[in-house]
């Protein structure tokens, strides 16, 4: 006796397997629970249609079409009457221009749809409305195909896979919470992934491998969402990702993908963005974050001629940009708001790189480094606001640094904040330009190498500038305008030149130069200024310190070496001027025009010439020469109670003294032979004392 099938199953089974039959149609409807429907349309048939409708729980439907064209599978469970625990399977094999449509409403439903070996416009469309549903859609060896998945509800799962496809598209829409979606396209070209996820705690993973001319588009709106996009072994591919909400995470990566791009944006608070490109020449990353406490980590590695552009708008945001083992890369970071920080690394065999940063707000931080065998790199930093800090480190050849700060309490540190070596620029042909405008500013700059150039400008109060150079052809140009400014610079090498200008109160300048052809010039206009120039072991060096109008000024020049030249001019009161020269062919002259001034010139060496001029009241002039062929000329034209002392010891000495005023005292002491002294005094109650003879 033949065993009978259950009525529900038997009524639903439909088999159409006629040989080479066309235009087959299977329509199945089931009402109730635990029902099963199986549709099979095969064997080179065309224009087939299979439709199944089920209402109830725990129902299953299986539809298969093979070797067909212009055929369709339509399966629905719980339409307008939610059904739970349903299972839907639709398969099309070796078919052309075919479609699968699946719709499920309810909870804990499963839909599986696959197309293999189909060409020319095949499609899969699945729709689920409810919670805990699952979709698995796959296409392989298909041209001009598409997969559409839409899920509304919570805790749904979608898996989409397209393999060996051309001009294919995968589209996903999830609306709800705790949903998960995975989309993959591989061994394809000119394919796209388009994902929209709305809700809370959703996760989307989209990947393309060996898929040239392809694109991934991601949109997430909600809180605590996670999006991951990756492309590998492809060229001219792109990732575009947008997240809106709070606490979201976005990862966008490209590997071995040349001429590719990533555009990522996040709008909200406490979001995190990671994006990297490996071995992707000529590629770009553009990242935008708007909100508070966002984080961005961007990197390009072995990606020549690539670029990163970052924009953050809000407070307490942070960003890190890393570019290495690449030439011709650029990094541009813009932050608007307070308490933001950005870190930029360009390093390891990185040549012709450019880094540009701009911060507007208060309490912001910049850490930028270009190091480890780099050359021809440029760094430009701009900060507008108060209490900002810039830290820069450069090492290599032909480096350029420009840092500008506008505001109060700002600091520029061009130093080794990373460690490894002490200094901001190390290498050859460096250029650094640092500008500050505001109060309590600080600049620190160090250069090591050849042909460095530093331009320091500070405008404001309580500014401190420190620069150190070691090498050849160094040059420092500084400008300080404000109160309580302090500049200290040290040079060691050849062809060094320091120029400057200080305007304000209580300025102090210290300059030290060593070795060949050094030249230093200091100009100060203000009160309480002090300048010290030290040229140690110098050859062909020149030094000049000028204070035109100001009180309590002090200038000191120390020179050792050959062909030294020193000049000091003081206008004001209480100035103290000192010149010390030791060496050959030295020439020094000073000058004070003010009250309570003191001028001291000491020369030891050959062919020295000294000229001293002290005017005004209570001025003192002391000139001491020890050596050969010395000549001293002293004047005091306008003043009273001046005391002029000249001491010469050596050969072929000559002293000329001119005074114009009252109560002046001139004392000339010469030790040697063939000495000549000329004293001219114009006024009353003056005294002249001349001592000549051998020791």
Tokens of 489: 């610079």
According to DSSP, the β-strands at 453-461 and 576-584 are unpaired
Q: What is the tens place of the pLDDT at every residue in 623-644?
A: 999 988 889 998 877 666 678 8
Mean pLDDT is lowest, of 272-276, 324-328, 335-339, 386-390, for 386-390
Rounded to whole angstroms, how far apart are CA atoms 329 and 282? 9
CA–CA gap between residue 508 and residue 482 (Å, rounded): 12
Question: What value does the mean pLDDT of the chain take?
Answer: 86
Mean pLDDT of 535-539: 68
**Among 55-59, 81-85, 434-438, the range of highest mean pLDDT:** 55-59
pLDDT tens readout for residues 403-434: 888 877 777 776 544 443 344 666 677 777 77
Domain ranges of the chain: 235-334, 337-473, 598-693
| CA dist., res. 369 & res. 12, Å (int) | 72
The distance from CA 613 to its chain's CA centroid, rounded to whole angstroms, is 54
pLDDT at position 265 is 96
Q: Which residue(s) pair with 336 in the sheet?
A: 313, 360
Q: Percent of the chain, pLDDT > 90?
A: 44
Q: Within 13 Å of residue 443, how many CA atoms lie on the same side as its CB?
A: 37
Higher model confidence: residue 379 or residue 152?
Answer: 152
- Token pair for residue 457? 């400008």
What are the CB-based long-range contacts (under 8 Å, 24+) for 381-384?
381/357, 381/412, 382/357, 382/358, 383/358, 383/359, 383/407, 383/410, 384/359, 384/360
Would you state the pLDDT for residue 157? 97
Find, among 412, 446, 450, the residue nearest to 428 by Cα.
Answer: 450
- Asked if residues 621 and 641 have their Cβ atoms less than 8 Å apart, the reply is no
The span from the CA of 364 to the CA of 318, in Å, is 10
> Which runs of E-coded beta strand occur in 190-328?
192-200, 203-212, 215-223, 226-232, 238-244, 249-255, 261-267, 272-278, 284-290, 295-301, 307-313, 318-324
In this prediction, residue 547 carries a pLDDT of 61
Give the integer Cα–Cα distance in Å for 200 and 149. Answer: 19
325: pLDDT strictly greater than 80: yes
Q: What confidence category does residue 571 fall into, taking pLDDT thresholds of 50, 70 and 90?
A: confident
pLDDT at residue 16 greater than cutoff 60: no
Query: How high is the pLDDT of residue 414?
Result: 65
> 436 pLDDT exceeds 70?
yes
| Helix/strand/coil (H/E/C) assignment for every residue in 620-655 | EEEEEEEEECCEEEEEECCCCCCEEEEEEEEECCEE
Say what the pLDDT of residue 695 is.
61
**DSSP helix/strand/coil, 601:** strand
Rounded Cα gap, residues 397 and 524, in angstroms: 34
- What is the rounded distance in angstroms from the CA atom of residue 252 to the CA atom of residue 234? 15
For residues 66 and 90, what is the distance between their CA atoms, to the nearest angstrom? 11
CB contact at 8 A, 454 and 476 = yes
- Residue 549: pLDDT band (50, 70, 90) is low
Examine the pLDDT at 300 and tell me if it is beyond 50.
Answer: yes
Query: What Å distances lie between residue 148 and 62, 123, 282, 361, CA to CA?
Result: 20, 8, 33, 46
pLDDT band at residue 614 using 50, 70 and 90 as cut-offs:
confident
Which segment of 248-252, 617-621, 630-634 scores lowest on mean pLDDT? 617-621
CA distance between the termini of the chain: 149
Q: What is the pLDDT of residues 37-78, one digit of tens each?
A: 999 987 666 788 999 999 999 999 999 998 877 789 999 999
Decide if pLDDT at 164 tops 60. Answer: yes
Which residues contact residue 26 at a Cβ distance below 8 angstroms, ignoring those fewer than 6 apart? 14, 16, 39, 41, 48, 49, 50, 51, 52
Nearest partner of 491 among 448, 432, 545, 523, judged by Cα? 448
Structure token digits, residue 3: 């065993």
Task: Identify which of 25-39, 411-425, 468-482, 610-624 has the greatest average pLDDT.
Answer: 25-39
State the pLDDT at residue 545.
Answer: 66
Selection from 176-190, 388-402, 499-513, 550-564 with the highest mean pLDDT: 176-190
Question: Any residues with CB less than 8 A from the CB of 190 and at least 6 apart, and which?
Answer: 166, 167, 168, 212, 213, 214
Question: Could you count the other beta carbons within 10 Å of the beta carbon of residue 17?
Answer: 12
The residue behind tokens 């120029």 is 499
Pairing assessment for the beta strands 554-562 and 530-539 based on DSSP bridges? parallel
Provide the H-helix boundaries in 563-633. Answer: none
Cα–Cα distance for residue pair 553/373, rounded to 1 Å = 46
Complete DSSP assignment for 440-469: S-EEEEEEEEES-EEEEEEEEES-EEEEEE
Look up residue 331 and give its DSSP letter: E
The first and second tokens of residue 41, run together, are 């349309």
Confidence (pLDDT) at 301: 94
C-alpha distances out from residue 683 to 593, 639, 643, 660, 661, Å: 19, 11, 14, 6, 5
The tokens describing 511, both together, are 């300059």
Of 466, 588, 566, the residue nearest 522 (C-alpha): 566
Residue 463 confidence (pLDDT) above 70: yes
**Of 201-210, 231-240, 254-263, 633-642, the least confident:** 633-642
C-beta of residue 344 within 8 angstroms of C-beta of residue 333 = yes
């Amino acid at each position: 006796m033949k065993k009978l099938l259950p009525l529900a199953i038997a009524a639903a089974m439909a088999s159409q397997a006629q040989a080479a039959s066309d235009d087959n149609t299977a329509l199945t409807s089931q009402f109730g629970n635990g029902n099963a429907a199986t549709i099979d349309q095969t064997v080179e048939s065309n224009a087939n249609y299979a439709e199944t409708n089920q209402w109830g729980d725990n129902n299953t439907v299986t539809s298969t079409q093979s070797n067909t064209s212009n055929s369709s599978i339509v399966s629905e469970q719980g339409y307008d009457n939610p059904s739970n625990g349903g299972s839907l399977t639709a398969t099309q094999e070796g078919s052309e221009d075919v479609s699968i449509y699946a719709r499920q409403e309810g909870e804990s439903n499963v839909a599986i749809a696959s197309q293999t070996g189909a060409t020319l416009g095949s499609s899969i469309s699945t729709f689920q409305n409810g919670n805990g549903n699952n979709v698995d859609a796959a296409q392989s060896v298909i041209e001009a195909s598409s997969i559409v998945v839409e899920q509304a509800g919570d805790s749904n799962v979608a898996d989409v896979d397209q393999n060996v496809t051309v001009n294919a598209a995968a589209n996903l829409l999830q609306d709800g919470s705790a949903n998960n979606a995975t989309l993959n396209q591989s061994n394809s070209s000119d394919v796209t992934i388009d994902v929209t996820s709305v809700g809370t705690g959703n996760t989307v993973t989209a990947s393309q491998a060996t898929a040239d001319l392809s694109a991934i588009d991601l949109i997430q709106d909600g809180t605590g969402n996670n999006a991951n996009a990756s492309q590998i072994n492809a060229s001219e591919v792109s990732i575009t990702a947008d997240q809106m909400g709070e606490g979201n995470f976005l990862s966008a990566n490209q590997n071995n993908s040349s001429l590719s791009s990533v555009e990522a944006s996040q709008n909200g608070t406490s979001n995190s963005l990671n994006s990297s490109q490996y071995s992707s020449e000529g590629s770009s990353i553009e990242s935008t974050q708007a909100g508070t406490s966002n984080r961005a980590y961007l990197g390009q590695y072995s990606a020549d001629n690539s670029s990163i552009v970052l924009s953050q708008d809000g407070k307490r945001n942070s960003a890190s940009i890393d570019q290495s083992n690449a030439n011709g890369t650029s990094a541009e970071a813009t932050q608007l708001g307070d308490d933001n920080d950005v870190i930029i690394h360009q390093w390891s065999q990185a040549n012709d790189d450019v880094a540009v940063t701009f911060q507007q707000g208060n309490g912001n931080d910049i850490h930028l480094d270009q190091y480890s065998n780099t050359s021809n790199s440029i760094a430009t930093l701009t900060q507008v606001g108060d209490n900002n800090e810039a830290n820069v480190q450069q090492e290599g050849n032909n480096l350029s640094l420009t840092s500008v700060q506008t505001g109060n309490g700002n600091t520029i540190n061009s130093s080794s904040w990373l460690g490894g070596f002490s200094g901001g620029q190390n290498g050859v042909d460096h250029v650094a330009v640092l500008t500050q405008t505001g109060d309590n500013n600080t600049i620190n700059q160090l250069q090591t190498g050849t042909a460095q150039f530093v331009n320091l400008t500070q405008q404001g109060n309580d500014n401190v500038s420190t620069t150190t150079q070691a090498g050849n052809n160094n040059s420092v140009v500084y400008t300080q305008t404000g109160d309580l400014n302090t500049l200290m610079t040290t040079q060691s090498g050849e062809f060094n030149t320091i120029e400057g200008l200080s305007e304000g109160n209580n300025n102090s300048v210290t300059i030290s130069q060593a070795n060949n052809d050094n030249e230093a010039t200091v100009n100060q206009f203000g009160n309480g200024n002090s300048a010290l120039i030290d040229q140690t072991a110098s050859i062909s060096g020149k030094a000049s310190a000028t204070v035109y109008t100001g009180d309590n000024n002090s200038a000191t020049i120390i020179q050792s070496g050959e062909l030294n030249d020193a000049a000091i001019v003081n206008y004001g009161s209480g100035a103290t001027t000192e010149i010390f020269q030791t060496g050959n062919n030295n020439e020094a002259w000073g000058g004070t025009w003010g009250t309570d001034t003191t001028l001291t010139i000491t020369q030891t060496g050959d062919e020295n010439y000294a000229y001293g001029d002290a005017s005004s009241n209570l001025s003192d002039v002391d000139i001491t020469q020890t050596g050969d062929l010395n000549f001293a000329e002293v004047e005091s034209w306008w003043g009273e109670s001046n005391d002029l002392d000249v001491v010469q010891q050596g050969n072929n000495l000559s002293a000329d003294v001119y005074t114009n005023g009252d109560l002046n005292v001139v004392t000339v002491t010469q030790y040697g032979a063939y000495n000549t002294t000329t004293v001219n005094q114009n006024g009353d109650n003056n005294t002249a004392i001349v001592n000549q003879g051998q020791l």
